[in-house]
Amino acid sequence: MDFKTALFYILSAILVIAALRVVTARNPVHAVLFLVLAFFNASGLWLLLQAEFLAIALIVVYVGAVMVLFLFVVMMLDINLERLRQGFWGNLWLGGPIAVLMVIEMVAVLSARSFGLEAMPAPASMAAGVSNTKALGVAIYTDYVYPFELASVILLVALIAAIVLNLRQRRDNKQLHPSEQIAVRRKDRVRIVSMPSEKE
Amino acid sequence: MINFVMPDLYPASAEIFILVMACVLLLVDLFAGSGRRWLVYLLTQLTLAGCFGITLATLDGQSVTTFSNMFVDDLFADFLKLVLYPTVAVMLVYSRQYLAARNLDKGEFFVLVLFATLGMMVMISASHFLTIYLGLEMLALSLYALVAIDRDSARATEAAMKYFVLGAMASGLLLYGISMVYGAVGSLEIAEVGQRIALGGGNKTVLVFGLVFVVAGLAFKLGVVPFHMWIPDVYHGAPTAVTLFIGSAPKLAAFAIAMRVLVTGLAELAEHWQVMLMILSALSIALGNLAAIAQTNLKRMLAYSAISHMGFMLLGLLAGIVGGDPRFALNAYSSAMFYVIAYVLMSLGSFGMILLLSRAGFEAENIEDFKGLNKRSPWFAAIMMILMFSMAGVPFFVGFFAKFAVLQAVVAAKQIWLAVFAVMFSLVGAFYYLRVVKVMYFDAPTDSASIEAPRDMRLLLSVNGLAVAVLGLLPEGVLEYSIYASYAFLVGQ
């Protein structure tokens, strides 16, 4: 077993354990941190496959931005895990066997027979100086320009959706607007009513 | 070096137009202010009309691909798009008063509807697994936001949350399946995948394994049993205008991607997916019709009816290839297409009726609210009766011909028992549709408010109801177009 293979097994083992801990951890903050660990190991696996750009993007985008944000959200929310787990045992009789069945089937299909080195040989090592950042860039801006544009539209939709759902005037809002107060005119506030004089 | 050949933008002009207009509308809405909301509405309708014109003008019966074979413009896509635009436009007309009464007619509503429409157009014209997924996400993301657009409704927020979580899971399933297909075949281009499998490429076990997940993802989007859980809750919880949208146009897009993925891409695996679709459709027809009986809420009832109708449509899809013999394909696929179009027409009308009877602070969503409609408005009671009869499959409404065409395809494929099963459960289904009719005609009205609706909505709803009746008597036109489109689809692949 050469060094790369050993590294692969170490990274994969940590990845699997971390992923399992994400779903089993009692503390949601721990779960998020385990997910970060899983991402780190996955990016290590990508490095082994010579996909250095994807590996670094996974760390920068997911670990650096998304997961940090996620951590804030998890810390801000008051998550009651006990209540989340309430239905767990009740549905286990149905979910458990189905899950076991799925796992057995997946193991049977995703075995070495279909995905082993004979069926899918490892790609040859890339020559020194081949930049996979550049290769990705070229692919995205030429052949994949249509999905690339679509992805940008999806981000725009997400932006609009987030604003629509969160920017709203609350009815119980008593906030004052200084600019409106300064710009007020007499006719907005004072109403002159002409009334016949009343005698006693 | 980069070899960039400018893609041919002409086939995608309708998509480009709607995208530009959606962005323009965002700005118009910003400057128009809340006093001129009619302007955004009007521009949205004009955009849809413009798309209709563009698609009609670029219609040439040729199958053209562009953007490195990721976008296909064939007669099949054009025909579905020409049905899609009016569907969205009619939905906007129906929901205008409802939205205004609830202060939901913000500019963003219309912008999100346009983006959802763009997503559906992308799905209809997709010839690459990646664009199918991206179109699907664009549609889904807009729909999640639309369901939750009424922020003060706890029910709508819950529905949006369920829809979002389950939708994300379904996207995951679909992507996982696609990744397996890619792993086995080494291409994401749908036609290319089909050819490589036909030439014996790819590990069959892996392909079938991927197929299971792809079918599960598609089934979720179509809303068939056992991936139907979200349908009743989302239909019930969403504002009725949004329910109308979810219940109509996306079915066209889901049908299109099911055809592209299963018939073009994975045709060689037909014996596998036909069995899966058979189970899905039989379960949907049974569960949809049985569960609908127990509903007192009309929106929930129509949700279960949607499940059974989509099951029925799948019957047409699965009857296409009989033991490797594609002779029945044209007949079967055109019948499924006709079924989807007929269903969209009926669905528009029946949710339109709920919108018609609703007013500020009141949702006419219970079957009880239709009590004695005949005394309040004989005309609209008659329209609703036509719609319910058609949904039930009573001759001679369009729903009957749709069912008839599909059943004929199923019988031609020698699946007699499946046809008998479907007919039996359609009979069960007739019960709950006819109950609505009974309530309208034989019960005393509990609600005496007069029906107030803008003239365009009354007119369009009447036309909608009459179209269901007239197309039942003269279905040849739409049927012929479905056959042309399916023929172009089968030849072009």
Helix (H) or strand (E) holding B73: strand B71-73
Counting one residue from chain A and one from chain B, the pairs whose CB atoms sit within 8 A come to: 85
* Within-domain flag for A10: yes
pLDDT 10s digit of each residue in chain B, 493 long?
677 788 889 999 999 999 999 999 999 988 887 678 889 999 999 999 999 999 999 888 788 888 988 999 999 999 999 999 999 999 999 999 999 998 888 889 999 999 999 999 999 999 999 999 999 999 999 999 999 998 888 999 999 999 999 999 999 999 999 999 998 898 999 999 999 999 988 788 889 999 999 999 999 999 998 899 999 999 999 999 999 999 999 999 999 999 999 999 998 898 899 999 999 999 999 999 999 999 999 999 999 999 999 999 999 998 887 766 777 888 899 999 999 999 999 999 999 999 999 888 888 889 988 888 888 889 999 999 999 999 999 888 999 999 999 999 999 888 899 999 999 999 999 999 999 999 999 988 887 777 888 899 999 999 999 999 998 888 888 888 888 888 888 877 6
Q: Which two tokens stand for residue B489?
A: 């689809």
Whether residues A144 and A71 share a domain: the answer is no
* Within-domain flag for A97: no
Picking from B3, B141, B208 by the largest number of A CB atoms within 10 A of its own CB, the best residue to mutate is: B141
Return mean pLDDT, chain A: 86
Picking from B103, B130, B187 by the largest number of A CB atoms within 10 A of its own CB, the best residue to mutate is: B130
Overall size of chain A counted in residues: 200
* Within-domain flag for A194: no
Binary contact (A146, B209; C-beta < 8 A) = no
The reported pLDDT for the residue numbered A178 is: 85
Binary contact (B130, A164; C-beta < 8 A) = no
3-state secondary structure (DSSP) of residue B126: strand
Of A37, A56, A79, the residue that ends a domain is A79
* Within-domain flag for A161: yes
* Within-domain flag for A43: yes
Q: Which of B299, B312, B320 is nearest to B340 (CA)?
A: B312
* Within-domain flag for A102: no
Binary contact (A154, B144; C-beta < 8 A) = no
CATH number at A23 reads 1.20.120.1200
The reported pLDDT for the residue numbered A170 is: 64
* Alpha-carbon distance A151 to nearest alpha carbon in chain B (angstroms): 7
The reported pLDDT for the residue numbered B349 is: 95
CB B277 within 8 A of CB B215: yes
CB B43 within 8 A of CB B135: no
- Domain extent, residue A61, equals 1-79
Q: Can you spell out the DSSP letters for B248-300?
A: SHHHHHHHHHHIIIIIIISGGGHHHHHHHHHHHHHHHHHHHHHHHHT--BHHH
* Within-domain flag for A158: yes
Q: Where are the alpha helices (DSSP H) in B270-415?
A: 270-293, 298-318, 329-357, 373-376, 378-392, 398-412
* Within-domain flag for A171: no
Whether residues A134 and A71 share a domain: the answer is no
The reported pLDDT for the residue numbered B204 is: 86
Binary contact (B145, A119; C-beta < 8 A) = no
CB B181 within 8 A of CB B129: yes
Q: Which residue of B has its CA nearest to A112?
A: B206
3-state secondary structure (DSSP) of residue B474: coil
The reported pLDDT for the residue numbered B473 is: 86
CB < 8 Å to B151, chain A: 165, 168
CB < 8 Å to B209, chain A: 105-106, 109-110
CB < 8 Å to B8, chain A: none
* Alpha-carbon distance A148 to nearest alpha carbon in chain B (angstroms): 10
Domains identified in chain A, total number: 2
Binary contact (B7, A146; C-beta < 8 A) = yes
Give the Å distances, CA to CA, from B425 to A119, B220, B307, B358, B398.
47, 22, 13, 31, 18
**How far is it, in rounded angstroms, from Cα B11 to Cα B466?**
34
Of A39, A60, A79, the residue that ends a domain is A79
